Amino acid sequence: MRQDLERIALISDVHGNLTALEAVLDDIDARGITRIFNLGDYVGKGPRGKEVVDICRARCEVNILGNWDDFLPDPDRDYDSEAMAWWLAQLSDGQGAWLRGLPFSHDFLVSGRRVRLFHASPTSVHRRVRFDHEEAEFLEMFGNTPATGDGPLPSVVGYGDTHDAYYEVDRERRTLFNTGSVGNSLDDPTPVYVIVEGVYDSPDDGPFSLQFVRVPYDVEAELAVARAMGMPELEGYEGELRHGIYRKNILAGEAPGYHRRPRSAPAAP
């Protein structure tokens, strides 16, 4: 007898963009999905980190540590950056400690596949793995580390961090995917999240799927809030939200994207 399939929404990298988060949550609710897992980076880049943290604490069954969640509220870090100090000041009492105390990863079973979620890599929230990785990096994503702990190895790994959604599978049925970003999606700036569907907590093979969902939202409304709040780096935020161009690349004349390795120039003939 076939068991009922369950859907879980995976969101990541909201980065203080409350307007995008609300649009994505509305879409999740309209689909009747009640379980939401969050892969981190709630704060920074956008103006309303406090509100995003409050909503994610209330709505997300699982919340995972991101790199911004680790370094922005670090009490041992001093900022000489106006933007960093501004984003930190938006957080309310206790939110920084909550963010830094989030778990590194989360494992679960669905349709006989062990899924592991983390923010950036199995070793650190500060180590980036881009979509154009080498095979060794692909295989490393499925290993246990001191950060993930011991236990059964995953056959499906999902992560965020690069703001670039993709899906990859090998002949051993190992599946690697990136959720993309809700609040700061690059290249295509439309917010994106993932739906995992299968028989939850089942060790037996069963139907399994991953679906990427892009949700349009009112970009200008979000920018108007950032402008009214006097958020620093507004020009960079506008470029990311309107055009999907990483803010550091605006000054570099649209250099290779945030998620890509810079390519060396071809050799002369």
- What pLDDT, in 10s, does the model give residues 222-262? 999 999 999 999 999 999 999 999 987 655 555 445 545 44
**Confidence band for 21, pLDDT divided at 50, 70 and 90:** very high
Q: What is the pLDDT of residues 70-94, one digit of tens each?
A: 999 999 998 889 999 999 999 999 9
**pLDDT at position 132:** 83
What residues form DSSP beta bridges with 177? 158, 167
Calculate the dihedral angle through the C-alpha atoms of 13, 218, 244, 33, rounding to the nearest 10 degrees.
40
Q: What is the pTM of this model?
A: 0.91
Q: How much helix, strand and coil, in percent to the nearest 5, is found in the chain?
A: 25, 20, 55
* pLDDT at residue 68 tops 60: yes
The pLDDT-based confidence of 263 (bands split at 50, 70, 90) is very low
Cβ neighbours of residue 68 under 8 Å, at least 6 residues apart? Answer: 15, 40, 41, 42, 43, 44, 45
* pLDDT beyond 80 at 265: no
pLDDT on residue 230: 97
**Per-residue pLDDT band at 269 (split at 50, 70, 90):** very low
Contact in structure between 125 and 102 (CB atoms under 8 Å): no
Give the chain's domains with CATH numbers. Answer: 6-250 (3.60.21.10)
What pLDDT score does 231 carry? 97
